Chain A
Amino acid sequence: MAADSVSGVCHPYIRHRFLLHAAMLSTLKQRVGEVLLPGDEFCCDGDDTISLTEPVRPEKLLCGPGLRRSGDRLLVCKSGILRHKQPNVFWMDCQQRRYVPAKGETVIGIVTVKSGDVFKVDFGGSEQASLSYLAFEGATKRNRPNVQVGDLVFAQFIVANKDMEPELACIGSSGRANGMGVFGGGGLLFRVSLGLIRRLLSPHSEVRSDLEQLFPCELVVGMNGRLWVRSSSVHQTLVIANLLQSCETMTPLQRRELFMRVKQGAL
């Protein structure tokens, strides 16, 4: 399978969409980058000054994870930093290690059970997801994929809500793999926090660009907090794995210093 699976934009899934006052949008924009706690709210006061001359255009606001609408107020329900993406998307950037499945997210799973037509895959959630053997590129009833118990798969969620068992597929909507599927041999799997995953997947990730200058390696990023690394030697793979695990708690300056030292051959 194609190793380069660092896919593009980290997209917060949309929860609510509602019309609101322009004043609220500006208050939200003011507080972007601040640390907010659950219980903070943005309310749309009725007696906010409304300019009589300008036309009042209600603007649409997209709330991402961590923000919830309640009546005409916007409540914060997770502690973290408020982030904004043009034109009108807001979400809370929270730090956690436990993964909650969401539709469309790609994850690294471990196959635990192979029974009949369906594989059971563990992705680190409260239950195991099911993966049909037909959900692979080029798979037919006669031509089954070569998947054993204990293999790693890179798949995306097609069903992920709190009422049903999660379902995975290694195939896109068009029928093509797009980099998903079973992993080859070698490489090391390890766990990091979800925040670091999002940092690695963001479009112009500094961590990724720093890493690119070190050793040539293959890196698969699963949004359930799992990373898979493969490099030319065991030593280099271990170095990269340890570097990424320590990136979680370092400031950018410290990280660059550490990477510089490693490049010069300290390890």
Chain B
Amino acid sequence: MKDTPLSNCERDFLLRAIQEKKRLDGRQTYDYRKIKITFGTDYGCCFVDLGKTRVMAQVSCELVAPKENRPNEGIMFFNIELSPMASPAFEQGRQSELSVKLNRQLERCLRNSKCIDTESLCVVSGEKVWQIRVDVHLLNHDGNLMDAASIAAISALCHFRRPDVSIQGDEVTVYSQEERDPIPLSIYHMPISVSFSFFQQGTYLLVDPCEREERVMDGLLMIAMNKHREICSIQSSGGIMLLKDQVMRCSKIASVKVSEITELIGKALENDKKARKAGGRCGFAESIPLERITALKMEETPMEMMDVTERANDIVQKAEVPPQMVPSQVVPVPGVGQVGQGLQNTWGLEEEEEEGEEEENESEGSDNSAEEQEGKVSQMEEGKYEKEQLKAGDVVEISDSEEEEVVILHPETRDQAPKNTESSLRQKGAASIKKRQ
């Protein structure tokens, strides 16, 4: 489908506005649009928004045989896709002039500047090297595709992690993400391209042209630079004549812009690293603002809390003095002494005291109140039942063995027995509560 033609009225207006140093969206001559960089859930996935222009870059890697003339170096492969969703002028499948031009520019900017250490990508010299593939997809075209693509590509490369490899003699082991942490690529510097558009045969200059401005421009100058003020690539298209001092001025502006953008990329990478470390959810889905109609809400169950404090005080007063810490008499398996049981339950033996403890817990978490009440009730019943049974023996044995003889290591008072049963019951009760939840 053809793109909307540019009317004479628009062209005249834009040129007049540029002569008066006004831009369509109110920016100044050297201003960039708002840049937003977000990363996806996978390592190596990056989205860049330059105003309304939207670009996605994805980096992936593969082990391949190296090129014959460079057996020690890894391979870098770049690809820019002009998706039809970006503009009605882009057609699927057809290699348009613009696509060839953008591909060539990105390759020159990233490959020829040697920003990535390709020798570190070598695994077995002459046999296996890593091939790093950068795919850039254009999602929306509102001007200045080259800048957005270069920012996305270099951010994605900085974000990417390749699998760890170890070599033992002849054996090469590639570890998956779960086995060993993937390692980042070694990047020397970050080349970023800055575009300048010229109007009226070079009289007027604009940085970061939007789509309308690109349509009426005479020529375009693209300078790729890194923050150390090293020029990685310069390209001039449109056939306009540029003076030496114009180019020098552009390169000075470019160095300022590049340092700002590099800082922005650094911050975005930092934020992403922090988010991943904190275990928080990161990625594309999280960076889109949430628009919910209803959120999942659970009603708080109403609870009878009127006389909790009185009952609790009551129970505490009526309770006996808690027993001293002694090793338990509970023998899990006959013949085995118990070494340690951890902290003793100092609340006491009776179920009422446990009930008091449970109620105190309930006042904190109301969601589980229903379940805990249930658990508590059944526990009380269990407790009563067990207590009747326990009146018989001194020592409690939690085992299915049929041995009669039990060796008592420390002669204890009778009081201990039900207490320990209670604690085990409480554990059982807690387990059942957990199951119900």
Contact = CB atoms under 8 A, between A and B. Distances in A.
A234 B22 contact: yes
Interface in B89-146: none
B5 A112 contact: yes
Interface string A96-121: 00000000000000101000000000
B25 A242 contact: yes
30 contacts: A110-B5, A112-B5, A122-B4, A122-B5, A126-B1, A148-B8, A150-B8, A151-B7, A152-B7, A152-B9, A183-B9, A185-B9, A185-B12, A186-B9, A186-B13, A187-B9, A188-B13, A189-B10, A234-B13, A234-B17, A234-B22, A235-B20, A235-B22, A238-B17, A238-B22, A238-B24, A238-B26, A241-B24, A242-B25, A242-B26
Interface string A219-254: 000000000100000110110011000000000000
A186 B12 contact: yes
B243 interface: no
Interface string B14-32: 0011001010111000000
Contacts of A150: 5-8, 11
Contact of A110 (B7, B16, B26): B7
Given A189-B9, A234-B17, A238-B17, 13 more contacts: A110-B4, A112-B5, A122-B5, A150-B5, A150-B7, A151-B7, A151-B9, A185-B9, A186-B9, A187-B13, A234-B16, A235-B22, A238-B26
B166 to A, nearest CB: 55
Give the interface centre of B6, B8, B9, B22 by most chain A CB atoms within 10 Å.
Answer: B9
A124 interface: yes
Nearest to A112: B5
Given A183-B9, A242-B26, A234 B20 contact: yes
Interface of B: 1, 4-13, 16-17, 20, 22, 24-26
A255 B13 CA distance: 26
Contacts of B11: 150
Contacts of A183: 9
Contacts of A237: 13
Contacts of A124: 4
Nearest to B6: A150
A171 B184 CA distance: 68
A148 B11 CA distance: 14
A55 B379 CA distance: 71
Contacts of A186: 9, 12-13
A186 B7 CA distance: 11
Contacts of B4: 110, 122, 124
B281 to A, nearest CB: 27
A152 B6 CA distance: 10
Nearest to A113: B5
Contact of B10 (A122, A188, A234, A238): A188
The 3 A-B residue pairs with the shortest CB-CB distance, nearest first, are A150-B8, A110-B7, A188-B13
Interface string A131-151: 000000000000000001011
Contacts of A148: 8
B61 to A, nearest CB: 40
A63 B145 CA distance: 45
B291 to A, nearest CB: 13
| Residue from A148, A151, A189, A238 having most chain B Cβ neighbours under 10 A | A238
A213 B127 CA distance: 75
